[in-house]
Structure 1
Amino acid sequence: MQLTTHTDYSLRLLIYLGIHTGDGPATVHDAATRYRISANHLAKVAQTLVQLGYIHSHRGRGGGLELAWPADKINIGAVVRQTENLQLLECFGPNSTCPIDPACHLKGVLGKAQQAFLEVLDGYCLSDLITNKGKLRKLLDVA
């Protein structure tokens, strides 16, 4: 299973905000530059995370982004569920046109695998991903 770029960037932005120091606001542009990714795409990701309640966005001079919750309250499994399309196959949706859907075991096997994947992610929160803040700050050149 491969996560979408949107989910990948959501997790990266949360990590960045989790390690960002209080020396000025964290901005989409700064995070995008440090990760070497598209600022336009990251801005859309930030908007999603604001709508989901994971981050706050402050406009204007001195504005920027910040976590809406302490890092130990942001569950990684929940973030992935809310930012990812978890319909692995067409038959996972309500309008399956697969002729073998009623007798197929693949859907059940993949459903169990997906559940196991999400259960592992449910065991982690953002604070678990940033226990090495010093190293992450160095790699991203965050003061």
Structure 2
Amino acid sequence: MRLTTKGRYAVTAVLDLAIHQGQGPIALADIARRQGISLSYLEQLFAKLRRQRLVCSVRGPGGGYNLARETDEIKVAEIIAAVDEHVDATKCGGAGDCYNDGPCLTHDLWLDLSHSIYEYLNKISLKDLVERRGQPTDAEQTRIGQEPVMARSKAQPSQLPASA
């Protein structure tokens, strides 16, 4: 995968902003402190996020950043793309020249995986992440003997024919 810390940090920082939304503009120094991300790195990321109209800045004393849209309107894939990240499982960056100037044997498999990951991330909004954050994890629920909050689909083993 080619999702680097740039994409991860951007999602983390924007999620932090979403969690603290409604408290006035949020200073990048506060996000940096809470999330353990370099302030200068956050400044670079937020410049890109601002250009893509995901966040807006407020200048002056008490200034900082706010989300530019509602949390249910901002998708994780959009945040990752805003900081010039790509979720790509192919060796060739999707160009199809991974083997002797043509596609390798598994090119379509990795390309399909890349598309599936993008589609998955494009279905998840900041609102979903904020709401999920307040719920116990599966491991926490197992310890207290409850059913998981978010039911995970379990893949069923494929049925082999009797002659196999």
Q: TM-score range by the shorter chain?
A: 0.7 to 0.9
The runs of 4+ residues in structure 1 deviating greater than 4 Å are: 132-135
Q: 1:52: Cα distance to partner? A: 0.8
| Distance change in 2, residues 1:19/1:106 (3 Å) | same
Match of 1:127 in 2: 127
Q: Is the 8 A contact 2:13 2:35 kept in 1?
A: no
Q: Is the 8 A contact 1:76 1:124 kept in 2?
A: yes
Q: Is the 8 A contact 2:25 2:63 kept in 1?
A: yes
Q: 1:65: Cα distance to partner? A: 0.2
Q: Does 1 or 2 have the higher relative contact order (CA < 8 Å, sep 6+)?
A: 1
Q: Which entry has the higher C-alpha Rg, 1 or 2?
A: 2
Match of 1:139 in 2: none
TM-score, length basis structure 2: 0.71
The whole-number CA distance in structure 1 between the counterparts of 2:95 and 2:28 is 34
SS of equivalent to 2:57: strand
| One-letter amino acid of the structure 1 residue matched with residue 60 of structure 2 | G
SS of equivalent to 2:115: helix
The whole-number CA distance in structure 1 between the counterparts of 2:93 and 2:64 is 42
Q: 1:118: Cα distance to partner? A: 1.1
Q: Is the 8 A contact 1:91 1:107 kept in 2?
A: no
Match of 1:141 in 2: none
The whole-number CA distance in structure 1 between the counterparts of 2:119 and 2:18 is 23
Match of 1:90 among 69, 92, 98: 92
| Distance change in 2, residues 1:21/1:74 (3 Å) | closer
Q: CA-atom RMSD, angstroms?
A: 2.3
Q: Does 1:99 align with 2:100?
A: yes
Q: 1:3: Cα distance to partner? A: 1.7
| Distance change in 2, residues 1:12/1:63 (3 Å) | same
The whole-number CA distance in structure 2 between the counterparts of 1:76 and 1:97 is 28
Q: Is the 8 A contact 1:56 1:67 kept in 2?
A: yes
The whole-number CA distance in structure 1 between the counterparts of 2:93 and 2:49 is 29
The whole-number CA distance in structure 1 between the counterparts of 2:98 and 2:118 is 26
| Distance change in 2, residues 1:71/1:112 (3 Å) | same
Identity %: 28
SS of equivalent to 1:57: strand
